[in-house]
Chains A and B, each alone.
Chain A
């Protein structure tokens, strides 16, 4: 007897405002199957899951193409509530738990076991009381399926992170008719032993006949628990393979692989030049981008890329050096020890920073272009200011001349130096940021996500500008970016940051597999 697939997604495509983020994805899930979905940030994993859950972002942006069948019946999922009633459960990356409630109460939240009371008989079911003993029994049962010794009476607040994760899973398991369970990067927050435990639990859940969709970027986990694996890249389904037909290296390659063009930029190796920025044991407490003891050396005149997946800590490095988030460790600029946690010291040491949060940190949106360009140097080093004893005045003429120079040099499209930066396009705003950094005459330029949120044409312009600065002025540049292709097109070397540490340093023309492995937290073994 042929088993009917529990879920079939056919020809799923989705566009946001004209940009295709999913293109003809086909997915079949059998009962008891563990199906892995891997891909970089932005590959389309979450969009696919949002479609499966009928999230409102999908429908408010014009819906999607393709069809979804559950048990062979076509269904139209309009809301998460409906998805749940169809037996689809999801374990979220961020916990959706009430901290002051007990484990059992959280598991039973909004599905409480009720018991009629005298009042409810008279005034209706809203006055029924909770049947705690049955709720605790149910919770116990669900937790036992996970084989974990969490006390169902304990309150969530104060539980270790791993236990919270298991409570979430238990909540899904407790739902009757659960057919499909989605894990969205469940191990991202777990310690190693907890992650192992979770993987065992996933296997057991699947053995009970529930189909599991497992989203992660940790390839080793995929290889351990999945029966079948789908690789997404740039919204396309690269391949779906049985686990036995593939291996970690192939997956890494498929995940990262792009047709790359290395012609235009034969970068000179600069290892023989002197180190200009030495980072030793740097830890940065930046929420969501924690850095744990990074060692990294930047050589004079190179473009060093810092890559890696979101949340792994790559963004934190530059922010920590610039004193924008609490940092500890040792950083030397041209041999001199840098005082950490002090933006002023970082600027004085000759560092200029283009923040990944251009509109939030990088610019004064309501101020003029000329003021924005001058601001870094003005506040950092006192340029553009005439002083007489305790009195000072901004040198408007110098500010204007400087702005005009960069407007023509970088081709900033604007009505004039006095236009408010808010009115510029993303690409032109980024050019203002570049001009601002250059006005500071930095020894080292730290650039975070230089092409985030700007359109394709402008992206190339920004990258070309960075490359030109390096070529013509010999400026040392450290670029942090989530877009590996971008890094590979301009950098001399690329450091991949995983789990807050430098997993390895690669050359831009190293094979895709190496990048994929480092980003997936796999050490590169010989032969790879």
Chain B
């Protein structure tokens, strides 16, 4: 009975993924790949994605399913980032923005957009109960396309953003010049042998997880989880289910916005245009690999999923490349197969108890 229960908890899909990860690590060692480099970049990628994966949690708990439309939050974050950079440029000479102040400004600027977008998006999701995931995917794609126009027409002047000729902002905006690149990563960073620990980045993710944990134990958090897990029960308790779903969506959107800023500082660039298009799928796949379903999720699922999926992402590429040197996109292909396979698997499990 007991063994059966554990097996059921750790279902087949997760066992296969975990085994695959172990296999990759063994292969990496056997192929004498640079282990220190792999560990460093694994830790960095996990930190980069941590908050974006966490953004899935409130959405699933509130009953709207994994947030395939988190790109909505992502563009809000990018917009906040651009506004902060533009402000620093316009006030150049008058006010000096330290990298930390600039990063904080970006977060603050992105907040009102994320709140408004989240409320509107939650309002839409409340009108399409039962097919939230499909609608979310389309909302995500739509906003990315709409923002492509916006990136062209918004009157940003800062030379690091604007194309030298014509109008609009560049596809990638470097953060190096303002000291934003790897700002969090380098904070308190230290080395163990050849491995660099991006302490600040990991601490940021840990802080976000802790705040989420606190939130889930607050009255609103409890109500949100109740509304998602059994709407009719929640209603009988006097909980406004639709409002809780909006709360969940707003939280997810805000986490998406801040998540992309954390991601971008580590990456060193803000990626516009097509950049955010497929990012939600990575976050969705990660939390699902961690053991969440489209109806249930915990903070542990976020952690496990981030470690497993992003670990695989980092290790798979050089291993695959070592095997098939002439076919260098093999790593990328295997990553895509895992990502979409896991999403597909989770969706087929959606109805089952």
A residues in contact (CB < 8 Å) with B: 322, 324, 342-348, 353, 355, 357, 360-367, 371, 375-376, 378-380, 382, 385, 387, 391-394, 396
Residues of A within 8 A of B235 (CB): 324, 343
Contact A393 B214 (CB under 8 A): yes
B residues in contact (CB < 8 Å) with A: 214, 217-220, 222-223, 226, 229-230, 232-239, 296
Contact A394 B236 (CB under 8 A): no
Q: How many whole Å from B255's CB to the nearest CB in chain A?
A: 18
Contact flag A343-B237 (CB < 8 Å), given A361-B232, A366-B229, A393-B214: yes
Residues of B within 8 A of A387 (CB): 219
Residues of A within 8 A of B217 (CB): 393-394, 396
Contact A379 B222 (CB under 8 A): yes
Contact B296 A362 (CB under 8 A): no
Contact A392 B219 (CB under 8 A): yes
**Pick from B219, B226, B236: contact of A382, CB under 8 Å:** B219
Q: How many whole Å from A400's CB to the nearest CB in chain B?
A: 14
Residues of A within 8 A of B237 (CB): 343, 347, 375-376, 379-380
Contact A364 B218 (CB under 8 A): no
Q: List 28 A-B contacts (CB under 8 A).
A: A322-B236, A324-B232, A342-B238, A343-B235, A343-B236, A343-B238, A346-B238, A355-B236, A361-B230, A361-B236, A362-B233, A363-B230, A363-B233, A364-B230, A365-B230, A376-B237, A378-B222, A379-B226, A379-B234, A379-B237, A379-B238, A380-B237, A380-B238, A385-B219, A392-B218, A393-B217, A394-B219, A396-B217
Q: How many whole Å from A439's CB to the nearest CB in chain B?
A: 12
| Extra 4 A-B pairs, beta carbons < 8 Å, given A324-B236, A345-B238, A379-B237 | A361-B233, A364-B226, A371-B222, A379-B219
Q: How many whole Å from A432's CB to the nearest CB in chain B?
A: 12
**Which 4 residue pairs spanning A and B have beta carbons closest together?**
A344-B238, A379-B237, A392-B219, A343-B238
Q: Is the contact region of chain B dominated by helix, strand, or loop, or is it mixed? A: helix
Compute how far the CA of A286 lies from the CA of B222 in the bound complex, rounded to whole angstroms: 28
Q: How many whole Å from B207's CB to the nearest CB in chain A?
A: 16
Compute how far the CA of A367 lies from the CA of B226 in the bound complex, rounded to whole angstroms: 9
Residues of B within 8 A of A357 (CB): 232
Residues of B within 8 A of A362 (CB): 233, 236
Contact B232 A378 (CB under 8 A): no
The A-B contact count (CB < 8 A) is: 71
Residues of B within 8 A of A363 (CB): 230, 233
Residues of B within 8 A of A394 (CB): 217-219, 222
Residues of B within 8 A of A379 (CB): 219, 222-223, 226, 234, 237-239
Chain A residue with the shortest CB-CB distance to B218: A392
Compute how far the CA of A357 lies from the CA of B229 in the bound complex, rounded to whole angstroms: 16
Q: How many whole Å from A462's CB to the nearest CB in chain B?
A: 19
Q: How many whole Å from B291's CB to the nearest CB in chain A?
A: 14
Residues of B within 8 A of A371 (CB): 222
Q: Which of B217, B219, B226, B296 has the most CB of A within 10 A?
A: B219
Residues of A within 8 A of B238 (CB): 342-348, 379-380
Compute how far the CA of A523 lies from the CA of B286 in the bound complex, rounded to whole angstroms: 66
Q: Which of B219, B222, B226, B237 has the most CB of A within 10 A?
A: B237
Compute how far the CA of A345 lies from the CA of B235 in the bound complex, rounded to whole angstroms: 12
Q: Which of B223, B226, B232, B238 has the most CB of A within 10 A?
A: B238
Residues of A within 8 A of B222 (CB): 371, 375, 378-379, 394
Q: How many whole Å from A448's CB to the nearest CB in chain B?
A: 11
Contact A393 B236 (CB under 8 A): no
Chain B residue with the shortest CB-CB distance to A371: B222
Compute how far the CA of A322 lies from the CA of B237 in the bound complex, rounded to whole angstroms: 10
Contact A364 B233 (CB under 8 A): yes
Residues of A within 8 A of B230 (CB): 360-361, 363-365
Q: Which of B217, B220, B230, B296 has the most CB of A within 10 A?
A: B230
Q: How many whole Å from B276's CB to the nearest CB in chain A?
A: 31
**Pick from A344, A346, A391: contact of B218, CB under 8 Å:** A391
Contact B232 A360 (CB under 8 A): yes
Residues of A within 8 A of B214 (CB): 393
Compute how far the CA of A366 lies from the CA of B350 in the bound complex, rounded to whole angstroms: 16
Residues of B within 8 A of A396 (CB): 217
Q: How many whole Å from A158's CB to the nearest CB in chain B?
A: 28
Compute how far the CA of A365 lies from the CA of B230 in the bound complex, rounded to whole angstroms: 9
Residues of A within 8 A of B233 (CB): 360-364, 375
Q: How many whole Å from B288's CB to the nearest CB in chain A?
A: 18
Contact flag A393-B232 (CB < 8 Å), given A344-B238, A380-B238: no
Compute how far the CA of A343 lies from the CA of B235 in the bound complex, rounded to whole angstroms: 7
Chain B residue with the shortest CB-CB distance to A440: B237
Contact flag A364-B236 (CB < 8 Å), given A392-B220, A393-B217: no
Chain B residue with the shortest CB-CB distance to A367: B229
Q: How many whole Å from B208's CB to the nearest CB in chain A?
A: 17
Q: How many whole Å from B222's CB to the nearest CB in chain A?
A: 6
Residues of B within 8 A of A380 (CB): 237-238
Q: How many whole Å from B61's CB to the nearest CB in chain A?
A: 12
Contact B223 A393 (CB under 8 A): no
Q: How many whole Å from A452's CB to the nearest CB in chain B?
A: 17
Residues of B within 8 A of A385 (CB): 218-219
Q: How many whole Å from B161's CB to the nearest CB in chain A?
A: 36
Compute how far the CA of A396 lies from the CA of B214 in the bound complex, rounded to whole angstroms: 13
